[in-house]
Structure 1
Amino acid sequence: MSAEQRVVVVVGAGPGVSGSLARRCAAEGWHVGLVGNDETVLADLASTLVPARVERRVADAADPHTGGSAVADLGRRFGRIDLLHVNPSAYREADPMHLGVDEILDDVRLGVGALLVAVQAAHPYLRPGSRVTVTGSMAADEPSAAAASLGVQKAGVRNLVHSLDATLAPEGVRAVSVTVRGALAREGTFSHDAVGDALWRAAHQDPAAWRSEVPYPA
């Protein structure tokens, strides 16, 4: 691999925002690693990333063994990770009076735990200049009572991003969440491609003015 050949690993990869970011990286000449729980979805996404070199792994992103092993294996295969994007969250229609403790813990395990698993596994392959991005949501600030666990996940993952950024900054690695303040749509400001571009820009912030949370739209 050329010293300039960059690598993105997308955890929770799918056809939406994470797929758009993967395509943006591929268009820039990056190699792409994909981690997700559905081989068909991963294969379909990989087919849109030609001519990039693509490696894919099927795993439970929140499981320290399978999810962590998948990310670490991609790091070994590529030799480095320049951008780690973590996308998973769980949507469950249940208000606080109908949401069980085990259910909310399962959701947080995915929506927050997957980030911890991915970063810990990727850490040996991150280098000065590497970036970690997360798809955030206005649900962190304006939760829907009808899907109470999502707001908890998004608030938690944003908080964890702040802590990761502070911890990794001395190594030259930065983390950022992009808080999407609207509902995803097929076209317009909240299209998958538009939000994917926002993530790309967040990852390429000026390090001297780095923010670990970026609202979208600004």
Structure 2
Amino acid sequence: MAVLAGKVAVVTGGGTGIGFATARAFRDEGAQVFITGRRKDALDAAVTELGTGVTGVVCDASVSTELDALYRIVREQAGRIDVLVANAGIGTVAPLGEATEEMIDSMLAVNIKGTVLTFQQALPHLNTGASVILTGSTAATRPDEGLEIYGASKAAVRSLARGWARSSRARGFRVNVVSPGGTRTPGLLELLPPEALRQAEEGIPLGRLAEPGEIAAVTTFLASDAASYVNGAEFYADGGYAQV
């Protein structure tokens, strides 16, 4: 039996990379899925590829009014949210001494403010027992050079999850974090040159980058009823990079 059969899921940043793989996994497991992205062309292409059961909504997770519009569509078409994946995020290499205000502002706006708004504005629509999953990163605990600001933004995401999990009793939701390590996504492949990618793989105990579907599998578990007693946890899917 499909583990998410009958559930309604929202995945922000679902047009590409880990978010796209998560949406596909959720669809395959029987969920009705809403995905968001900031670029209509990329989002439309993702919806076309994913097919039946997936709806795309253009939305910037750091803009409150756009999130209101997203949740209005979800409410009208599905009536509730059973699974919320706050995945939208950006990473920019910004070494100390070279980080610009624009780099700092954009990462904090999307990765922290966007995560807060995504969850906060979903509250009226969350079903009892809903699973909320935030996308973290190994950079929160082991930031490579140039990723310190990005890592700090993801450390904030982990802190938010700890606090929000303590509020779960009153509303019946649970909040967890999936923290990927290096993953073979378009974003990472654009960010790092081939030599840097090879060095990254050498630093991972498993000796390779993750495929997006491997991260999506962990998220799917946390979304399912099999994880009904998992709350406030951080699940690393990093090949051992931040563990040893």
Deviation at 1:22, TM superposition (A): 0.7
- What one-letter code is carried by the residue in structure 2 that aligns with 1:183? G
Distance 1:71 1:149, change over 3 A: farther
In structure 2, the partner of 1:149 is 149
In structure 2, the partner of 1:28 is 29
Deviation at 1:101, TM superposition (A): 4.4
In structure 2, the partner of 1:216 is 237
In structure 2, the partner of 1:116 is 116
Deviation at 1:190, TM superposition (A): 1.1
| CA deviation map 1:39-72 (0-9, x unaligned) | 11111111233332x3221121111112333234
In structure 2, the partner of 1:206 is 227
In structure 2, the partner of 1:193 is 213
Distance 1:150 1:83, change over 3 A: same
Q: Please say if residues 62 and 114 of structure 1, whose CA atoms lie closer than 8 Å, have aligned partners that are also in contact.
A: yes
Which stretch of structure 1 is more off in the superposition, 161-170 or 5-14?
A: 161-170
- What one-letter code is carried by the residue in structure 2 that aligns with 1:195? I
Q: Please say if residues 8 and 31 of structure 2, whose CA atoms lie closer than 8 Å, have aligned partners that are also in contact.
A: yes
Counterpart secondary structure, 2:166:
helix
- Looking at structure 2, the residues matched to 151 and 159 of structure 1 have their Cα atoms a distance apart, in angstroms, of 12
Deviation at 1:24, TM superposition (A): 1.2
Deviation at 1:102, TM superposition (A): 5.2
Quick check: 1:12 aligned with 2:33? no
Report the TM-score when normalising by structure 2.
0.79
Rg (Cα) greater in structure: 2
Q: Please say if residues 80 and 127 of structure 1, whose CA atoms lie closer than 8 Å, have aligned partners that are also in contact.
A: yes
Q: Please say if residues 130 and 172 of structure 2, whose CA atoms lie closer than 8 Å, have aligned partners that are also in contact.
A: yes
| CA deviation map 1:131-178 (0-9, x unaligned) | 111221110001123132211111111111222222234311011111
In structure 2, the partner of 1:138 is 138
| CA deviation map 1:74-102 (0-9, x unaligned) | 23321011111111222222212222445
Counterpart secondary structure, 1:112:
helix
| CA deviation map 1:102-134 (0-9, x unaligned) | 532331110111111111221111112211112
Structure 1 residues 5-154: aligned runs within 5 Å: 5-52=6-53, 54-101=54-101, 103-154=103-154
| Pairwise CA RMSD | 2.1
Which stretch of structure 1 is more off in the superposition, 151-160 or 42-51?
A: 42-51
Q: Please say if residues 9 and 71 of structure 1, whose CA atoms lie closer than 8 Å, have aligned partners that are also in contact.
A: no
- Looking at structure 2, the residues matched to 73 and 98 of structure 1 have their Cα atoms a distance apart, in angstroms, of 41
- What one-letter code is carried by the residue in structure 2 that aligns with 1:93? V
In structure 2, the partner of 1:184 is 183
Gaps of 5+ in 2: 186-207
In structure 1, the partner of 2:192 is none
Counterpart secondary structure, 2:220:
helix
Report the TM-score when normalising by structure 1.
0.87
Q: Please say if residues 13 and 35 of structure 1, whose CA atoms lie closer than 8 Å, have aligned partners that are also in contact.
A: yes
